[in-house]
Amino acid sequence: MSKIKLIISICIFSILLGTTSAIKNQTRIIEKSIYKIDKKIAASEKDLYEIELDYSYLSSPNNLSKKIKDLALIDYIPMDFSRIYFNYSDFTDSQKKITILKTNNEKKTKKKQRF
């Protein structure tokens, strides 16, 4: 009886020994990979942090207007708000109105010319 108990104990012991080392090893691997990934994230975060700053500087209105002056020969002028359309239908509506106005005007001038 005691022999069986001993065998069982040794079996359990060896299983536990194996499992423990396996788990420990796995934990170490996971921790290592977390550490590596974390390092990468930290580096990327730092890059992003600095890139945001660079972007903010490069896209600042002052810098953009300087670049436009240096690179383009086009002299930009402020746009009248009435000429800015938020969508295509707004644009087509306004074009329709213009054509209607034009045709009406043409009709009127023709009538005047007849008289």
Partner 1 sequence: MKRKRKKNKDFNKNQTSFYFEDYLETNQKSKKVKNSNISQDRVYLLFFLFFSLITIFSIKIIFVSLKNPEIYSQKNNLYHFTPLRRDIVDRNGTLMSRNVKSFHAAIKPNLIKNKENFLINIRLNFPDLSIKKIKQKLNKRKYFYLKRGLNQSDKEKLWVLGEKGIIFEPFQSRIYTHANLYSHILGQVDYDNYGISGVEKYFDKELKDKKLLNTPLQLTLDTNIQHIIDNELNRALKTFNATGGGALLMNVNNGEVLSLVSLPNFNINKRANIKDKNYINKITKGVYELGSIFKTFTIALALEKNLVSPETIITNIPRKIRCSVHEISDIKEFPKDLSVEEILIRSSNIGTLMLAQKVGEQDYKDFIKETNLLNAPEFELEELGTPLSFKWNKCKLETISYGHGIAVTPLQAATTYATLTNGGNLVKPTIIRKEKYQDNKKVISSETSEKINTILRKVVTEKEGTASLANIYGYDVGGKTGTSQKYGDKNENLNTFISVFPSQDPKYVLLVMLENPQVAKNLIYNYRGMKIKGTRNEAGWNSVYVAGKIIKKIGPILAIKNKEFYNKHVAKKLN
Residues that bind partner 1 (CB under 8 A): 2, 5-6, 9-10, 12-13, 16-17, 19-20, 23-24, 26-27, 30-31, 34-35, 38-39, 41-43, 45-46, 49-50, 52-53, 56-57, 60-62, 65, 78-82, 84, 94, 97-98
The residue among 46 and 110 lying less far from partner 1, judged by its C-beta, is: 46
Max distance between CA atoms of the chain, in angstroms, equals 132
To partner 1, the closest distance from the beta carbon of 59 in angstroms equals: 8
- Chain centroid to Cα 79, Å, comes to 29
Given a contact cutoff of 8 angstroms between Cβ atoms, the answer to whether 77 and 85 are in contact is no
To partner 1, the closest distance from the beta carbon of 112 in angstroms equals: 24
C-alpha dihedral, 25 to 26 to 30 to 31, nearest 10°: -30
Given a contact cutoff of 8 angstroms between Cβ atoms, the answer to whether 96 and 88 are in contact is no
The residue among 46 and 108 lying less far from partner 1, judged by its C-beta, is: 46
How many whole angstroms separate alpha carbon 3 and alpha carbon 99?
Answer: 107
To partner 1, the closest distance from the beta carbon of 108 in angstroms equals: 18
The residue among 80 and 114 lying less far from partner 1, judged by its C-beta, is: 80
- DSSP class of residue 59? T
The residue among 43 and 104 lying less far from partner 1, judged by its C-beta, is: 43
